[in-house]
Amino acid sequence: MPHETAAPSTGTPPGVPAAPFSAGAGNPYIRLLTTPGARAFTAGNLVARLPMGMFSVSAVIMIAAAHGSYALAGAVTATGLAATAVVAPWTARLVDRYGQARVAVPATAFATLGSVALLLCVHYDAPVWTLFAAYAATATTPNTGGMSRARWAHLHRGDPAALHTANSFEQAVDELCFMLGPVIAASLCGMLFPEAGTLTGAVLLMTGVLVFAAQRATEPPVAPRARAASPLRTPGVPALMAVFLATGAVFGAMEVVSIAHAGGAILALQAGGSCVAGLMYGALRPTGPIRRRLLLCLAGMTVLMALPLVVATTTDSLLVLACGLLAAGAATAPTMVTGMTLIQRLTPPAQLNEGMTLAVTALLGGIAAGSATGGWTVEHAGTTTGYAVPVCAAALALATAVAGTRRA
């Protein structure tokens, strides 16, 4: 049922957008976080999103420790990923239709129970099939990043400068959680007990979503509407989903190949480069048509993704490879920021959460495909050749975007 959205404490009436972002001076991120209510929902969202980088690593460590099989651990997490790809868009559609608080809290509670069930099944040596069922139940976890972006879009609608900074901030948060989550999970599992990472992640997720959902003043209002078609039927969206799919393959392949070539710790440099680049990109005021900006970002990503391949081919130095990964990561955040901004413009406002969740789902599918392709290439042709896979995936994303732009 649609609910009324309370006005911010500053007295801004409901339905009235915030003051133009470009009117302020100074650091754009400080100005962004001075938006009434922004700090509160951002704090809750940060707590809720950190476990996104913890769960898969925690599950692998926990299951491998109990069953002595990384193959089983990988199969369980892959099942969860596939379930998320199916369930997440439906969860997002319910969020759009009934509101963030009404859907996100029970959906998160169900997902948290799935994590706890997985933990108990592993701890008490339950049949293997229960691991798959429990981890699949976590697929109801709502897309907290998408809900946060939807709030920024509601608060700063009609202000492209603010939305650009907000999307850059959200992308930097994604990269930060990607960097910190696995480290925290591995540390907890190693220093305490194998189930510690999963347990901590479940507590953080539930706590963060409760704090986020409690901030009703900034929640986008639910507009009554008739049953609408999927955002995939919106012109331009299918081509953009294909771009996200190929971009996800870049991430998945780079992760597997880099782990095989130099170990997992070096991946933090790519995420770090992306985080810094995202914040820097958000401080700029890019001009020109957004589709053209997306093509430029994809072209830059294709070029920079070739650096690790060149380094791996010409030298054995891990330091030089680290620099190459740092530079390669600098291209991913601007690409994601621009792509998400375009999704926001193409998707009807009443379906914004669903549209952004579909983009995330496409990314997850691409990551799975890229991981599989990268792993096969490493096994059959070596890690050096494996670095060609993310380059090819980036080139495919660029070609797909070019074709889609010509049709638009």
pTM greater than 0.75: yes
Structure tokens at 407: 């049709």
CA distances from 154 to 135, 207, 217, 238 (A): 33, 24, 11, 24
Which bin fits 287, alpha (ψ -120 to 50), beta or left (φ > 0)? Answer: beta
Amino acid at site 15: G
Q: H or E stretch including 14?
A: none
Amino acid at site 387: Y
| CA–CA dist 74, 61 (Å, integer) | 10
Residue-by-residue pLDDT tens, the chain, 408 positions: 333 333 333 334 344 445 455 545 578 888 889 889 899 999 999 999 998 878 887 888 888 888 887 778 878 887 888 888 889 999 998 998 899 999 999 999 999 999 999 999 999 989 999 999 999 999 999 999 989 999 999 898 888 888 889 998 998 888 888 777 877 887 888 889 989 999 999 999 999 999 999 998 899 988 666 556 778 888 889 999 999 999 988 988 887 788 778 866 676 777 788 888 888 888 887 878 899 999 999 999 999 999 999 999 999 998 999 899 989 988 888 999 899 989 988 888 778 888 888 998 898 888 878 877 887 888 889 889 999 999 999 999 999 999 986 655
pLDDT, residue 20, reads: 54
Q: What angle do CA 291, 297, 301 make, to 5 degrees?
A: 145
Structure tokens at 262: 């130099």
Phi, psi of 289 (to 5 degrees): -60, 140
CA-based diameter of the chain, in Å?
63
pLDDT, residue 7, reads: 34
| Residue 260 CB-half CA count within 13 A | 23
Domains identified in the chain and CATH numbers: 37-220 (1.20.1250.20), 232-408 (1.20.1250.20)
pLDDT, residue 228, reads: 63
CB 311 within 8 A of CB 325: no
pLDDT, residue 223, reads: 66
Nearest-CA neighbor of 282 among 236, 239, 334?
334
pLDDT, residue 17, reads: 47
How many residues would you count in the chain?
Answer: 408
Instruction: Compute how many other C-beta atoms are within 10 angstroms of the C-beta atom of residue 263.
Output: 10
Q: What angle do CA 139, 141, 142 make, to 5 degrees?
A: 125
Nearest-CA neighbor of 204 among 196, 192, 215, 214?
196
pLDDT, residue 348, reads: 83
Q: H or E stretch including 2?
A: none
Binning the chain into helix, strand and coil, the percentages to the nearest 5 are 80, 0, 20
Amino acid at site 55: F
According to DSSP, residue 8 is labeled P
| CA–CA dist 408, 237 (Å, integer) | 10
| CA–CA dist 229, 351 (Å, integer) | 10
According to DSSP, residue 219 is labeled S
